[in-house]
């Protein structure tokens, strides 16, 4: 059984209520090549993006151990279904303790009839 366009729109509106945090999506322009070598591209920020950030499925203790062993922590960021986010973007998010975390987007989870976009990110420490 499939759902109709109207039902899908209603489900998407309802899902928006479950994005309690705000983040910034940062995208860097392509680097430019000049006589002095490569110049990094400048960033463009989109601020005030509703989101929900969760750990990547590990317990708190497992996350601490993983960060110690690899220096990388995985996060899952849920965004509105139509948010423009791409692999290689960064998501800046202020955690409940007040620390600003920079999360590197690894996968954007494209699929049909999406209600929310689930983005897999990693954070290097």
pLDDT digits (tens, 9 = 90+) for 51-69: 999 987 667 777 677 667 6
Q: How many domains does the chain have?
A: 1
Task: Look up residue 78 and give its two tokens.
Answer: 């849920």
Identify whether the C-beta of residue 53 lies closer than 8 Å to the C-beta of residue 93: yes
pTM to 2 decimals?
Answer: 0.80
CATH code where residue 12 lies: 2.40.10
**Residue 30: pLDDT over 90:** no
Exposure of 125 in the CB half-sphere (CA atoms within 13 A): 13
- Domain range for 61 is 5-30+38-124
User: What is the chain's alpha carbon radius of gyration, rounded to the nearest angstrom?
Assistant: 17
């Amino acid at each position: 059984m499939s759902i109709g366009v109207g039902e899908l729109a209603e489900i998407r509106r309802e899902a928006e209520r479950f994005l309690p945090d705000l983040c910034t999506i940062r995208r860097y322009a392509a680097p430019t090549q000049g006589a002095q070598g490569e110049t990094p591209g400048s960033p463009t920020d989109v601020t005030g993006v509703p989101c929900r950030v969760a750990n990547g499925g590990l317990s708190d203790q497992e996350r601490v151990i993983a960060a110690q062993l690899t220096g990388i922590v995985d996060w899952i960021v849920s965004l509105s279904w139509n948010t423009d986010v791409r692999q290689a973007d960064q998501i800046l998010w202020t955690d409940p303790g007040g620390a600003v975390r920079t999360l590197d987007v690894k996968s954007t989870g494209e699929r049909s009839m999406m209600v929310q976009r689930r983005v897999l990110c990693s954070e290097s420490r």
